[in-house]
Amino acid sequence: MSALHEMSLNDLSALIRRGEVSATEVTDAHIDRCAAMDGTAALVTPTFKQARETAQALDRELAQGLSRGPLHGLPLGLKDAIDVQDVPTRLCGRFTPDRDAATWQALRLAGMVSLSKLHCAEYCLGAPGAKDALPFAKNPHDPARTPGASSSGSAVALATGMVPAALGTDTGGSIRIPAAFCGVTGLKPTNGLLSRAGLFPLAPSLDQVGPMARDSRDCALLLDGLVGGADRYAAALSGGLQGLRIGHAPQFGRDAGAAEDQSAAVTTALEVLRALGAEIREVTLPPLQRFTECFLPIMLSEAYGLHEQAIAEDRLMSPNTRIRLEGGIGITPEAVSDAKTAQRALSAAMAELFTMVDALVFEAVPGDPPRIEAMHPLDYLKAPLLAVPANVTGAPSLAIRCGTSRAGLPIGLQILAARNRDATALRIGHAYESAVGHASAPVGFPPHPVGTRPAMPGKDKT
């Protein structure tokens, strides 16, 4: 049997249900893995003592014949932007919530165990910089490169086996970009599918909470728990792809200047999907720049409007975050109105397209993760953004791994479905992963020399 930290959420669930391992054993295995991987800086507020106590209580329930369902006793990590009662939020407003976020409450009631709050970009906006509020999570595939943002800690913790599942948030790609850069899986659900209550806001009309894991099957299991426990998304994975119409949007990759190896990997993935019975159609979409020009005024104006006071008063705010938030200063009400008009038009165009195809496939990111030393706080303003069509239109979008670049780094595939067709995106992702023998085992991270590893913060305390 594989080590517990290497196993998928579904496999761990089966072991617990059969009584082959306890929730406490699974929790302890992941706490040990967190200690071994502490150099990643993925954890910001570990809650290991609470996690052990919760796992023990859940084991007592199982001993009494009580099961909360397939998530019973399974650990996860939560992006720092997601409220956990009495656990400090350190990167998104710096406060201690007095109640749980609705999404965490749903998973807690389903029997999950929170191991830690996870690193994210400060105020959920940005990427690594020289003067970050806390050390930025490190990409385990190449620490000199960004892990993606803002759900950086979620992706890194998954990729290194510190947690088998995580929650992230996505305003303009903040689940899918880290998933692609770290070689894991992340879903931005249909806008409004999950409650935003208890989520630190960046741009509320765009913000979404979503599941992250090491494969689509685990994301589906987690999403079922988030919507109340019905076997809705996991059950849909078995449908196969026969007759499914998948649109290929090569224009988006060209618009974003996607590297040759990224686009080649997408083409290869499409051939796999075709072999599974899907019908592949090349489609034409509005230019990616139109989605980007629509997204930026809405996001930046909402972010500045919400956090103008914090820009003035939060002395701990890093210079990079301040620069990014101040990008909304000059955006006029007329510009926002024009952007929302464009948003309605783009959403209508996408809805029309989804009468002809069931999903769209294109690159998740244009290339390898940038080197941190070469990054600028406003890099996201430079080019058309591959992630934002899903945010602008409210559509579900899944990022999965579909290859390895010439530099030896993960390549991501983006699967975008019609609104409320999250199950379709997950079904395609799962079919692809099953066909190629997707290995969801975690990667390592350069360890401390034997005998010199420091104690893990919070190892023996809340």
Which residues are known catalytic residues?
A: 79, 150, 174
Instruction: Give Cα 49 distance to the centre of its chain.
Output: 26
Instruction: Give Cα 99 distance to the centre of its chain.
Output: 23
CA distance 376 to 395: 29
Is the bond preceding 114 in cis, omega lying within 30 degrees of 0?
no
Kindly list the strands in the beta sheet with 359-363, ordered across the sheet, starting from the edge strand earlier in the chain: 43-46, 113-118, 75-79, 166-170, 208-213, 185-188, 397-404, 410-417, 359-363, 245-248, 279-282
CA distance 158 to 184: 7
From the list 141, 143, 175, 135, the residue with the least C-alpha distance to 42 is 135
- β strands within 276-426, DSSP E: 279-282, 359-363, 397-404, 410-417
CA distance 297 to 328: 7
Is 130 exposed, middle or buried (CB count within 10 Å of its CB: 0-12, 13-18, 19+)?
exposed
CA distance 290 to 35: 45
User: In which residue are the tokens 């000199």 written?
Assistant: 144
- With the CA atoms of 353, 357, 361 and 362 taken in that order, what torsion angle do they form, in degrees rounded to the nearest 10? -30
Two structure tokens written together for 172? 């303009």
Phi/psi at 171 (nearest 5 deg)?
Answer: -110, -35
- Say if residues 400 and 415 touch (Cβ distance below 8 Å): yes
CA distance 414 to 385: 13
Is 82 exposed, middle or buried (CB count within 10 Å of its CB: 0-12, 13-18, 19+)?
buried
